[in-house]
């Protein structure tokens, strides 16, 4: 039996290792999905070069070329729609989404954040956790709303903080967990039945 593949759009601003993990999971058949387009707001993002070498559709839309967040988001939404995107994955995309964007893909936008939310939202989450002295941190995949690192949680993986850790050690240990966590979250959302009760994402099967 063949199932239709879900079309994904991935947004990034930098390295793109989570994007690569999602692309590979699509290619291997682990995810019942295909990456229709990658969008970056930065031309110099390493993820852009990787995507283009791979022959994946990629658009660069620098936010400075637009008059404000709404206009920029509208342009991205147009690109995603044109590519037939059904789900959007933020993968190191360093911009807050406007209501224009969030409404266009209501409860169909995912983000990954390198902490166990709601602890340490915002920039440098790994350094925040390291500086706070927590024993455990990790990563969180969540649905995206208009608040920073805030929407309903889909999946989390805990990672220990070891006493000799530098911030870089911790970043690396978390990143290794981010890739499978993102793929696992996406796979479940695409394959299982689920609903939202307030902030709680409930699996129905
Ligand atoms: C990751 O740590 C992710 O959790 C955060 O930004 C970083 C992006 O890394 N949102 P990469 O571009 O996916 O390698």
Residue among 113, 130, 142, 179 flagged as catalytic: 113
Distance 166 CA to ligand 1 centre (A): 18
9 lines ligand 1 (CB under 6 A): no
CA distance 11 to 173: 23
112 lines ligand 1 (CB under 6 A): yes
Q: For tokens 């593949």, what's the residue?
A: 5
Give 2's pLDDT tier (boundaries 50, 70, 90).
low
Question: Is 106 among the catalytic positions?
Answer: no
Tens of pLDDT, residues 130-152: 999 999 999 999 999 999 999 99
Helix (H) or strand (E) holding 88: strand 87-90
Pair 88, 8: CB distance under 8 Å = yes
Mean of per-residue pLDDT scores for the chain: 97
The answer, yes or no, to whether residue 153 has pLDDT greater than 70, is: yes
Go through 4-42 and write b for each residue having 16 or more CB atoms within 10 A of its CB, e for each that does not: ebbbbbbbbbbebbbbbbbbebbeeeebebebbbbbbbb
Tens of pLDDT, residues 165-199: 999 999 999 999 999 999 999 999 999 999 999 99
142 lines ligand 1 (CB under 6 A): no
pTM of the model: 0.97
Give 157's pLDDT tier (boundaries 50, 70, 90).
very high
CA distance 11 to 106: 16
Distance 18 CA to ligand 1 centre (A): 6
DSSP 41: S
Q: Whose CA is nearest to atom 1 of ligand 1?
A: 92
Reading phi first (left if > 0) and then psi (alpha if -120 to 50, else beta), residue 152 is in beta
Q: For tokens 């911790």, what's the residue?
A: 170
Atom of ligand 1 nearest to the CA of 46: 12
DSSP 3: -
User: Count of CB atoms within 10 A of residue 167's CB?
Assistant: 14
CA distance 69 to 118: 25
Q: What is the dihedral of CA 127, 132, 136, 139, to 10 degrees?
A: -40
Helix (H) or strand (E) holding 49: helix 46-53
How many residues comprise the chain? Answer: 205
Ligand 1 pocket test, pick from 115, 178, 183 with the greatest ligand atom count within 8 Å of Cβ, gives 178
Using DSSP's 3-state secondary structure scheme, residue 39 falls into: strand
The answer, yes or no, to whether residue 67 has pLDDT greater than 90, is: yes
138 lines ligand 1 (CB under 6 A): no
12 lines ligand 1 (CB under 6 A): yes
Q: Whose CA is nearest to atom 10 of ligand 1?
A: 92
Tens of pLDDT, residues 72-118: 999 999 999 999 999 999 999 999 999 999 999 999 999 999 999 99
Q: What percent of the chain has pLDDT over 90?
A: 98
């Amino acid at each position: 039996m063949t199932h239709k593949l879900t079309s994904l759009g991935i947004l990034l601003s930098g390295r793109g290792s989570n994007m690569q993990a999602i692309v590979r999971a699509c290619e291997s058949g682990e995810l019942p999905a295909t990456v229709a387009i990658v969008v970056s707001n930065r031309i110099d993002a390493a993820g852009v070069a990787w995507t283009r070498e791979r022959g994946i559709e990629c658009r660069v839309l620098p936010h400075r070329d637009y008059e404000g967040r709404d206009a920029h988001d509208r342009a991205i939404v147009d690109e995603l729609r044109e590519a037939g995107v059904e789900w959007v994955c933020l993968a190191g995309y360093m911009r807050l989404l406007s209501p224009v964007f969030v409404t266009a893909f209501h409860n169909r936008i995912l983000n990954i954040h390198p902490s166990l939310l709601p602890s340490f939202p915002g920039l440098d989450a790994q350094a925040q956790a390291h500086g706070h002295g927590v024993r455990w941190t990790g990563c969180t995949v969540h649905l995206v709303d208009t608040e920073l690192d805030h929407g309903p949680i889909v999946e989390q993986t805990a990672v220990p903080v070891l006493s000799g850790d530098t911030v870089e050690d911790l970043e690396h240990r978390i990143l290794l967990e981010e890739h499978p966590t993102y793929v696992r979250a996406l796979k479940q959302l695409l394959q299982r039945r689920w609903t939202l009760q307030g902030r709680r994402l409930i699996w129905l099967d």
